[in-house]
Structure formats: C-alpha cells, structure tokens
C-alpha cells in the first residue's frame, strides 16, 4: 500500500468519525455538549483536514511544498487537541494553557526542520512530535490508574505502545539512517503508517466506548444516590447498613443509627415554592455532613426524613453527634430568592442490637424520633433500652 493511499485512508477515517460524532449524544449536567467532547470533535476535524490536504499534495493537485507544511501543522494541532480533550475528560480543566504554547513550539520546530531538510529532518520532527502528543494522551487516560476501568487502562497502554512505534521512526532516522538490522526504513515506514491508522481507530472507538461507560456509571450511581442532595438514597443507605447489621451479631464496638426529620418543612414549600425547598434541603444536608466523619453514612430515606449510620459509636456518643447536628441546623439561616429561612430538626437515636433486623432497628429509631417531635420538636430523643430477659425460676 503506497503512502498516498494510507494518508487518504487516515483522512476518510477521521471524516467518518466526525460524522458519527455528530450523532453521538453524551449527557452533560449543565446541558449542551461537554467541553471535552467539543474539543475532541475539533481535534478530529483538524486531523481529517490535515491528512486530506496531505493526500491532495501527494497527488500533485496542490503544490506539495505548500500543502505539506500546512497539512502537518493541522495534523499536529489535531493530535495535540485530542490529547487536550482527554485531559479535559480526566479533570485537567486548564490544559489549554499548556497545550497552546506546546503546540506553537511543536509547529515551529517542525517548520524549521522542514526548511532545513524536506525529507530526513521533516520525518524526524513529525514522528517525535506526534509521538510526544500521543504519549500525553496516554498519560491522560492513565490518570487515576488505581480507580480506572479495564477499558481505560487498555486504551492507555495501547495508545502508549503505538505512540512509541510512531516515535521509533524518528529515532531510527536520527540514530540509524540506513536501517537497523532487519528493521529497514521501508518496514519502519509501514509500521509508522499502521500505528497512525490504529491510533485513529483506537481514539475514535475508545472515546465512544468511554462515553457509554460514563453513562452506565451515572445510571448505576443514580440507583443508590439521591441527585438532589448528593447523599445515599433509601436503597443506597440500606446497602451500606446491611454489613453493619451482620457485624452487630458479633462481639465488638457498637454501631448507632440516627433518624432525623426537618420540623414543619411543608410550610417552606407552601410559602416559598419547591425550588426554595430544594435549596433548603441541599444546604441543611451540607451542614449535617460537616458534623460527620468520613466513615459515617448519611442517607435520605423519604421526603425530609434522613438516616445516619455511625459505625463504632455507642448510643450515648451518637446522641452527642445528633445534638451537635441539631444545634448546627437551628443556627443555620438559608438564603433563597424570596426569604431567609430557618428550620429545626428532631432526632431519634438508637444502637444496633444483636437480634435486630432492619425493620426492628428502623422502628425503634422512628419511635424515638416520634417521641422527640411529641416532646416539642427541635430536640434529640434516645430509644428505650433493651429489655432484660428474665431468668428462669
């Protein structure tokens, strides 16, 4: 396969990926298209334009001396922006401040090498520059390796390996111009072209698969997390509670459960509307989280009733935690568009017992919560102690 055919395949391949990208919908929390997806789309368009211009120059439709530097500039910019899009996806929001000067230096270095030597130094510069940007893309994929999915790890390793193949061409042109053993310049050129083609396919399909993986992760998270207040929902809370219920049957430190309910919250929605009620809920949940340890678990069971799991905490210590939380909520004034809103909360506290089921545990905590409300609200009530089993006569 000659070089013109390979370059044309790269151009058409990137154009096909751009067409598929046009119909690809990836949800974004603020609406519209994610910034990373937009940057990646531009990167593919630049690469497609560069490879197409290179094919046109190779066919002498446009003078090669004019087409080649512009084409390589577009390809280098496209690969740099592709790496930047991956860094954006990985959380590197300021990648443009690094990528832009690096891109200017890279294109300047390539043009200088092209001006000095149109063949040897040009191939050296193009290979090493493209390899460097592809290695940056691999580093972005490898970010957070310990928590990364197997798909992202594979893409990182495959991209790094292919980037090294791309860079090997430039290294051998510099170190062994006549080839190195069985590795002839022609074979290396073929491997270089194949690596670029595989990087195009890997980058395109990899991005789409990562997008699908993100959607699946979001759906799985929504099953156990309440999106309004960003804490566990009822299902998620009971998933966390289950192992601690099992541990309570063994000797060891106690574990406590706290139920709390916002007092007279209905008047907030009735007086100021549901948007104001949502602001109040989010604010008060943040106030509660600041009173908890990393190991504690806060969950929204239903409406404005919340539960807190306090591992390795006695009922008396849990009551102290609940009291701090009650005072913090009472001292908080939530600013909404229509008013400054103050609320109080009532708390019921109990400890997990060896013979408890989730039903008996929640019933006992709910009984304590009801006692707090009946006692005047804005207070903490403890569940009644366990009844001692009478000895047989």
Task: Say what the pLDDT of residue 38 is.
Answer: 83
Residue 321 scores a pLDDT above 90? yes
Run of H or E including 382 = strand 380-382
SS3 for 8?
helix
The reported pLDDT for the residue numbered 388 is: 39
For residue 317, the model assigns a pLDDT of 92
CA dihedral 375, 381, 384, 385 (to 10 degrees): -150
Decide if 307 contacts 257 (C-beta within 8 A): yes
Q: What is the DSSP string of 34-78?
A: -HHHHHHHHHHHHHHHHHHHHHHHHTTSS-HHHHHHHHHHHHHHH
Q: Strand, helix or coil at 215?
A: helix
Residue 114 CA, distance from chain mean position: 41
> Residue 349's pLDDT is what?
94
pLDDT at residue 190, as a whole number? 80
Lowest mean pLDDT among 45-49, 131-135, 368-372, 383-387: 383-387
Number of C-beta neighbours around residue 161 at 10 A: 12
Assess whether pLDDT exceeds 60 at residue 365. yes
> What is this structure's pTM?
0.71
Check residue 94 and give its pLDDT: 85
pLDDT of residue 83: 94
In angstroms, the CA 77 to CA 87 distance is 15
Predicted confidence (pLDDT) per residue in 71-128, tens digit? 889 999 999 999 999 999 888 888 888 989 999 999 999 888 888 877 777 888 889 9
**Measured between alpha carbons, how far is 25 from 151 in angstroms, rounded to an integer?**
20
Instruction: Categorize the per-residue pLDDT at 14 as very low, low, confident or very high, splitting at 50, 70 and 90.
Output: confident
Residue 334 has phi, psi (to 5 degrees) of -95, 125
Helix residue spans in the chain (DSSP H): 3-22, 35-58, 64-89, 95-116, 120-142, 150-175, 185-222, 234-247, 266-272, 274-289, 315-331, 358-374
Q: Has residue 21 got a pLDDT over 70? A: no
Q: Which of 4-13, 21-30, 213-222 has the highest mean pLDDT?
A: 213-222
**What is the reported pLDDT for 389?**
39
- On the 0-12 / 13-18 / 19+ scale of CB atoms within 10 A, 190 is middle
Q: pLDDT averaged over the chain? A: 84
pLDDT of residue 392: 42
Q: Which two tokens stand for residue 239?
A: 């998933």
Is residue 225 within 8 A of residue 236, CB to CB? The reply is yes
- Provide CB contacts within 8 A for 380, sequence distance 6+: 319, 322, 323, 326, 346, 347, 348, 349, 372
Residues 6+ apart with CB under 8 A from 332: 283, 284, 287, 342, 343
From 21-35, 250-264, 268-282, 297-311, the region with the lowest mean pLDDT: 21-35
CA distances from 100 to 83, 84, 108, 122 (A): 12, 10, 12, 21
Q: Which of 267-276, 355-364, 374-383 has the lowest mean pLDDT?
A: 267-276
pLDDT surpassing 50 at residue 156: yes
At 24-57, the pLDDT tens digits run: 655 555 555 678 888 888 888 888 888 888 878 7
The confidence band for 183, taking pLDDT boundaries of 50, 70 and 90, is: low
């Amino acid at each position: 396969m000659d070089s013109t055919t390979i370059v044309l395949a790269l151009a058409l391949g990137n154009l096909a990926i751009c067409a598929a990208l046009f119909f690809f919908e990836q949800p974004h929390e603020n609406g519209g298209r994610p910034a990373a997806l937009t940057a990646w789309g531009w990167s593919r368009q630049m690469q497609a334009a560069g490879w197409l211009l290179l094919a046109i120059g190779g066919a002498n439709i446009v003078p090669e001396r004019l087409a080649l530097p512009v084409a390589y500039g577009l390809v280098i910019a496209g690969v740099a922006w592709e790496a930047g899009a991956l860094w954006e996806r990985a959380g590197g929001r300021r990648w443009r401040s690094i990528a832009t000067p690096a891109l200017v230096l890279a294109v300047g270095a390539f043009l200088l090498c092209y001006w000095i030597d149109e063949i040897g130094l040009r191939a050296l510069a193009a290979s090493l520059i493209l390899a460097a940007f592809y290695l940056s893309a691999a580093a972005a994929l490898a970010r957070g390796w310990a928590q990364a999915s197997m798909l992202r790890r594979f893409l990182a390793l495959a991209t790094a390996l292919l980037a090294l193949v791309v860079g090997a061409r430039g290294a051998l042109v510099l170190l062994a111009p006549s080839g190195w053993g069985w590795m002839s310049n022609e074979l290396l050129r073929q491997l270089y072209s194949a690596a670029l083609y595989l990087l195009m396919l890997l980058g395109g399909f990899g991005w789409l698969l990562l997008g699908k993986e993100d959607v699946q992760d979001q759906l799985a998270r929504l099953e156990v997390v309440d999106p309004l207040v960003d804490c566990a929902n009822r299902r998620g809370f009971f998933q966390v509670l289950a192992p601690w219920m099992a541990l309570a049957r063994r000797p060891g430190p106690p574990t406590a459960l706290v139920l709390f309910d916002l007092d007279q919250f209905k008047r907030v929605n009735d007086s100021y509307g549901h948007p104001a009620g949502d602001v109040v809920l989010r604010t008060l949940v943040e106030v509660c989280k600041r009173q908890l340890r990393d190991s504690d678990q806060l969950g929204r069971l239903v409406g404005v009733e919340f539960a807190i799991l306090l591992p390795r905490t006695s009922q008396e210590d849990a009551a102290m935690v609940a009291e701090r939380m009650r005072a913090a909520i009472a001292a908080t004034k939530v600013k909404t568009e229509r008013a400054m809103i103050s609320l109080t909360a009532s708390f019921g506290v109990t400890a997990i017992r060896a013979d408890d089921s989730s039903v008996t545990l929640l019933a006992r905590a709910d009984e304590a919560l009801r006692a707090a409300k009946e006692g005047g609200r804005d207070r903490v009530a403890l569940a009644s102690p366990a009844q001692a089993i009478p000895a047989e006569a």
